[in-house]
Chain A
């Protein structure tokens, strides 16, 4: 390693530090990590087939309610999965099942497999 112009003392210091590193700790140690992740609904299709809005966004009706509230606050608008594995906004599907008990995509009888949370 080039250490031109360095005094003997400094060279010795380097040696000392080296020794410490090897004995006690690594050269770089982690102090803090700020991790970032994004969540999204675990769905096969990004768009809700009923309202045509992406499932990550609130459904049309909830967006309307949100806009009407001061500051555009969005209420919780979750996703629901059927046994057929198709998914929709829970709000949209609740409306839909009042008219029709079948999945709008595959026409199988609609029964809820799980609910987003």
Chain B
């Protein structure tokens, strides 16, 4: 049996069964041991240290071993006996001759050197790049294969060398890849051939890669083979990739860089920036694919190369590329922007300026749009919200299609959109700054929250809009409002208006859908509106239910006592804490018909409850009256104030009554009377008004004491252009619940509440911190209040002063910029 046939199957199993090899060799070794002990018995003496010339010496054995070694190096056939003899000889000589290991090692070294010298000559015989690479790779592969076999028979040598006191540092790792003989082989190759021709190898390999970059085809296995030789060549167990990294990787990266330094500049000059961007992007991809082919995986090489490519292809032209960005954002060129984004995202600090560009665009485009539509949107909250949402969708679609919804760009969108929403150049809400009434100085805020609240009212109230929309549409639009609301700084203003509208809807039974009303409260909670605000709304719903029960009880009793007339009254008795804290009550002299009910209701309530007092809120009350004139009979929905005014004519239907006398009859305060009369003489969209008056004026303020009013006997409801004999009309309009001073008061109320909130928050922080610097206090304060409003520096300062004055806190004597809590 020829050795070649023996080695071959082992060679095939090399990777998966290296232990098999070791097993085999120790098996062989076991046989040898038996043999040698036999021999020792025969010769009669076992070698002990310090004996005469060994019976089996290196010098005797080497001539038998050497031809096999040379055959192995040359990958020539070695038959089984030859192979087994090698083990036997090595074992024997090491057993008998204590100096044999060193001698064998030295002799091996010489033989390997000689072989490598020959191999080098064969390689260098080729001058053409591809042929040289081919020759080298083939020599190397053969040699490298043998690095796995040649060391096998010399395990005994390894043991002896490693046990030698001077070699202790090598330790006991003498097997497999770490074997001394293997290391000897690799180091010899490295020093003898590799060092001499590595420059030529690299140059040739890089030439091939360069040719590939220029579109020429070649056998990529040549480059891959060179790389593998670099990787395998290293015998340093600490850093097996050292030779590869210091040589192959380095020259690959350098070659790539210098290639693109020329090409990229050229391409940019010839094709312009926008085409260049595409070029750079495709080259980055191409180089990544190539690197995966030619560079060692899991070595960090690919990352290093890509860093280099990004540097030479992108970073070098960063300014030119970024300069394109603002125009692209403006023109919504999302594909190109995506390219810029993908390129710049790989550059250190590449997208910073893109974020700024996006923010600038949103600010400018948003505000320009608002100004363009100012006339419409300041009048129409629906249009306003639509515009805002349109803008939001537009900006979001850029962020999504151009910047892949990258969180950094989303943050920029939010930041800039917030500025648009809170901008005061188109709408402003003037809030008094001082604590004493409507001050001269005002601090403008966006009217956005007010308009959002108005829009919600349109959706939640019975209106033409809410009737037109499906339930899902309404829900979707309410969600839209919540989306914009997230960006509103003064959320407290929204809540105040929303609460006013809700109050109005609940008291007038004007909600389009009570389930949606209550859902909205929960949605407000979900988007993070302050809990105490939301809880107040929830409390109103509970309270209105309590009141409904009470109303049915009252009506039942009243019907029993007074007959069907009980049907003509409904009562809402509400918890003042939930509905009307601090709100103004307006006195009015009720018509007798209404006045009669009052004691009945009060008596009923007194019997049901203890310790409660009732206050009538007639400006919230309303009803239906029947009006008869020459044309017909009409049902009119009116406020209680309108009722009080109209009933003044019941005693004298034909009379003209002066303003002064109406005031005496109704006892309404001047502004309310004017407003009420105006609603009866000039109700919007009514063709024939209920009251006539003289002299003509342009606004309610112009009514004089002696202005006269009389009932229009030709009043009628006009339907399809024709007067009707019967009909129903509501004259309540937007009158109810908003008293003349209410708007001003609303705004003042907001300021009062903010002052209170700031004080509370300061105390809360101080209680926790005991001592805090002014700067830190400001930060924590804004954090606590941010879901409601943004407190101005001035307001904070004033409240700190007030709290110091009132001994809730004091300045630190040691540090004037710090405050201390005073319990």
Contact = CB atoms under 8 A, between A and B. Distances in A.
Given A27-B650, A28-B646, A38-B573, A74 B539 contact: yes
Nearest to B507: A36
Contacts of A78: 611
Contacts of A16: 630
Interface stretch (A17-25, A91-99, A100-108): A17-25
Looking at chain A's contact residues, the main secondary structure is: mixed
Contacts of A42: 611-613
B258 to A, nearest CB: 70
Contacts of B649: 27-28
Interface string A39-79: 11111000000000010110000000011000111100011
Given A27-B653, A32-B568, A37-B572, A1 B616 contact: no
B569 interface: yes
Q: Of A39, A42, A71, which is in contact with the most chain B CB atoms at under 10 Å from its CB?
A: A39
A48 B776 CA distance: 34
Contacts of B678: none
B343 to A, nearest CB: 51
A8 interface: no
A55 B562 CA distance: 36
Nearest to B620: A36
B650 A28 contact: yes
B364 to A, nearest CB: 43
A88 interface: no
Contacts of A36: 507, 571-574, 616-618, 620-621
A20 B618 CA distance: 32
B568 A56 contact: no
Contacts of B577: 40, 54, 56-57
B703 to A, nearest CB: 21
Contacts of B615: 37-40
Contacts of A27: 627-629, 649-650, 653, 711
B614 A37 contact: yes
Interface stretch (B139-147, B297-305, B481-489, B530-538): B530-538
A98 to B, nearest CB: 23
Contacts of A54: 577
Q: Of B539, B574, B612, B654, which is in contact with the most chain A CB atoms at under 10 Å from its CB?
A: B612
Given A21-B653, A27-B628, A34-B622, A67 B531 contact: yes
Contacts of A117: 608-612
A57 B609 CA distance: 17
B818 interface: no
Contacts of A33: 568-570, 594, 597, 621-623, 640, 643
Using C-beta atoms within 8 Å of the partner chain, give the interface range for chain B.
35 or more
Contacts of B650: 26-28
B763 to A, nearest CB: 12
A99 B605 CA distance: 36
A30 B568 CA distance: 8
Contacts of B635: 31
Given A10-B630, A36-B507, A56 B576 contact: yes
Q: Of A10, A35, A72, A116, which is in contact with the most chain B CB atoms at under 10 Å from its CB?
A: A35
Given A33-B594, A37-B617, A72-B531, A1 B573 contact: no
Given A36-B617, A56-B576, A30 B609 contact: no
B266 interface: no
Contacts of A20: 628
Contacts of B626: 28-29, 31
B579 interface: yes
A57 B309 CA distance: 69
A33 to B, nearest CB: 4
Contacts of A31: 568, 623-626, 635
B713 interface: yes
Nearest to A56: B577
A26 B580 CA distance: 35
B808 interface: no
A33 B554 CA distance: 14
Nearest to B632: A17
Contact of A35 (B535, B538, B601, B654): B601
Contacts of A73: 538, 542
Interface of B: 507, 509, 522, 531, 534-535, 538-539, 542, 567-577, 579-581, 591, 593-594, 597, 601, 605, 608-618, 620-630, 635, 640, 643, 646-647, 649-650, 653-654, 711, 713-714
Complex A-B, nearest 9 residue pairs according to Cβ-Cβ distance, in ascending order: A56-B577, A14-B630, A117-B610, A38-B576, A33-B623, A116-B611, A36-B620, A17-B630, A40-B576
11 contacts: A13-B630, A17-B628, A27-B649, A31-B623, A34-B570, A34-B571, A34-B621, A37-B601, A39-B614, A72-B538, A72-B539
